[in-house]
């Protein structure tokens, strides 16, 4: 089975071809980072227009790299939710048009489920180990941070155990980077600087450190950094900057890792997974692997290419939907809401 995936939920226009084993035959991503960098964040209208310009050539290139023609496809999958609605509409309409013209089955995919299942992607002929169901997954990105119990690829078998009450982890990285004049996107820049810094120099408090709570909060750690800068000014040397980045990153990674393994313990599972853009973070990956080894558990990390927004994960999630015999109609629409039920309420206060 071969499925074409189309992704346009935010600021990447992407298309990929994946087979039933998870093998990625092609994965094309057109990034809009340079377009939005001058504004310090994503401008939805500009994102939608750029998707319009690039969706057709990106799909054509993905098919060409996979040496596949449209008639050879067994289905077309597209991100339908959640995301920027204007951006999503571009991908949804392109996929619907292609599927209708070619007489191919169409399935809409939840972007979050794509990230959860990205760990099953095989990006070379050499097979990598994959987790067994059920497992616990930490999904951390610029727009989402949550822990899920995953019993199967079906949406109704994926349960939120805890999520952020305010900022997502990736959002906090970008906001701290902006405070430090590092530019956009800030997460990778903080990670690179932190690699040479002293994480113990600035004792930032780990947010929401209650042992049994699976909820996150990252607005407070961002405020701690802002208050430090207000009191002491911005770092004047490369060493000071690296130490500040390392200290912030250590607090954020500690929060993410502690809650992931607390959730696994509470659920009684041995396999843990991370996904989303923040899963590309060097320290998070190393810390999760080390903690899993210490606990005699198994940690599964997607390749870096599978962490950031891509269409291969959408193709694979769509393929699993098609395997269940599910097909969506021409009334498929874009929405900003995930299909996964939310258990965490935004904001402060007792629950």
Residues 38 and 177 in one domain: no
Tell me the mean pLDDT in the region 99-118: 98
pLDDT at 225 over 80: yes
Lowest mean pLDDT among 100-104, 185-189, 296-300, 334-338: 185-189
In a domain, 336, yes or no: no
Q: What pLDDT, on a 0 to 100 scale, did the predictor assign at position 17?
A: 98
Lowest mean pLDDT among 34-43, 55-64, 162-171, 333-342: 34-43
* Cα radius of gyration rounded to whole Å, the chain: 20
Report residue 184's pLDDT band, with 50, 70 and 90 as the boundaries: confident
pLDDT at 70 over 70: yes
Number of domains forming the structure of the chain = 2
In a domain, 205, yes or no: yes
pLDDT at 226 over 80: yes
Residues 192 and 53 in one domain: no
The residue range of the domain holding 66 is 2-123+306-323
pLDDT at 348 over 90: no
In a domain, 291, yes or no: yes
Residue 224 host element (H or E): helix 219-232
Mind listing the pLDDT tens digit for each residue in 283-311? 999 999 999 999 999 999 999 999 999 99
CB 14 within 8 A of CB 32: no
Of residues 185 and 254, more confidence is placed in: 254
Q: How many helices (H) and strands (E) does the chain have?
A: 11, 10
In a domain, 36, yes or no: yes
Lowest mean pLDDT among 2-6, 13-17, 44-48, 88-92: 44-48
Tell me the mean pLDDT in the region 117-134: 92
Q: What pLDDT, on a 0 to 100 scale, did the predictor assign at position 350?
A: 57
Report residue 126's pLDDT band, with 50, 70 and 90 as the boundaries: confident
Tell me the mean pLDDT in the region 177-185: 92
d(CA 180, CA 226): 9
Residues 313 and 290 in one domain: no
Residues 312 and 277 in one domain: no
Residues 297 and 165 in one domain: yes
Residues 296 and 147 in one domain: yes
pTM of the predicted structure, to 2 decimals = 0.95
**CB-based contacts of 198: which residues, under 8 Å, 6+ apart?**
242, 243, 246, 247
Lowest mean pLDDT among 33-47, 223-237, 257-271, 277-291: 33-47
Report residue 212's pLDDT band, with 50, 70 and 90 as the boundaries: confident
In a domain, 197, yes or no: yes
Residues 119 and 215 in one domain: no
Residues 117 and 24 in one domain: yes
Of residues 323 and 207, more confidence is placed in: 323
Residues 245 and 273 in one domain: yes
pLDDT at 351 over 70: no
Residues 98 and 202 in one domain: no
CATH number for the domain spanning 317: value is: 3.30.420.40
> Terminus-to-terminus CA distance in the chain, angstroms?
46
In a domain, 335, yes or no: no
Residues 111 and 150 in one domain: no
Tokens 């407070």 map to which residue? 220
Tell me the mean pLDDT in the region 140-165: 96
In a domain, 222, yes or no: yes
Tell me the mean pLDDT in the region 34-40: 86
d(CA 269, CA 177): 35
List the structure tokens of 130.
Answer: 């994959």
Residues 252 and 286 in one domain: yes
Q: What pLDDT, on a 0 to 100 scale, did the predictor assign at position 209?
A: 84
In a domain, 185, yes or no: yes
Q: What pLDDT, on a 0 to 100 scale, did the predictor assign at position 37?
A: 85
């Amino acid at each position: 089975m071969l499925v074409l995936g189309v992704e346009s939920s935010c600021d990447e226009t992407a298309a990929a071809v994946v087979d039933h084993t998870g093998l990625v035959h092609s994965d094309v991503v057109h990034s809009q980072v340079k377009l939005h960098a001058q504004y310090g964040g994503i401008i939805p209208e500009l994102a939608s227009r750029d998707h319009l310009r690039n969706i057709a050539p990106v799909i054509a290139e993905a098919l060409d790299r996979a040496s596949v023609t449209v008639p050879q496809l067994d289905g077309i999958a597209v991100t339908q939710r959640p995301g920027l609605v204007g951006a999503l509409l571009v991908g949804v309409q392109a996929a619907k048009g292609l599927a209708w013209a070619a007489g191919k089955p169409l399935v809409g995919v939840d972007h979050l489920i794509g990230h959860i299942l990205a760990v099953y992607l095989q990006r070379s002929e050499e097979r990598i180990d994959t987790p067994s169901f059920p497992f616990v997954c930490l999904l951390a990105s610029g727009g989402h941070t949550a822990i899920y119990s995953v019993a199967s690829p079906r949406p109704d078998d994926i349960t939120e155990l805890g999520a952020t009450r305010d900022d997502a982890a990736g959002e906090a990285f970008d906001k701290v980077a902006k405070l430090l004049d590092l530019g956009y996107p800030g997460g990778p820049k903080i990670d690179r600087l932190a690699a040479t810094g002293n994480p113990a120099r600035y004792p930032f408090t780990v947010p929401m450190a209650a042992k049994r709570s699976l909820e996150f909060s990252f607005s407070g750690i961002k405020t701690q950094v802002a208050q430090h800068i207000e009191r002491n000014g911005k770092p004047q040397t490369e060493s000071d900057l690296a130490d500040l980045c390392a200290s912030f990153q250590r607090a954020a990674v500690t929060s993410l890792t502690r809650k992931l393994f607390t959730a696994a313990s509470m659920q009684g599972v041995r396999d843990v997974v991370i996904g989303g853009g923040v899963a590309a973070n060097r320290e998070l990956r190393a810390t999760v692997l080390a903690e899993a080894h210490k606990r005699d558990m198994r940690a599964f990390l997607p390749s870096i290419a599978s962490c950031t927004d891509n269409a291969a994960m959408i193709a694979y999630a769509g393929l699993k939907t098609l395997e269940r015999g599910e097909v969506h109609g021409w009334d498929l629409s874009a929405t900003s809401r995930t299909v996964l039920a939310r258990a965490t309420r935004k904001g402060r206060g007792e629950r």
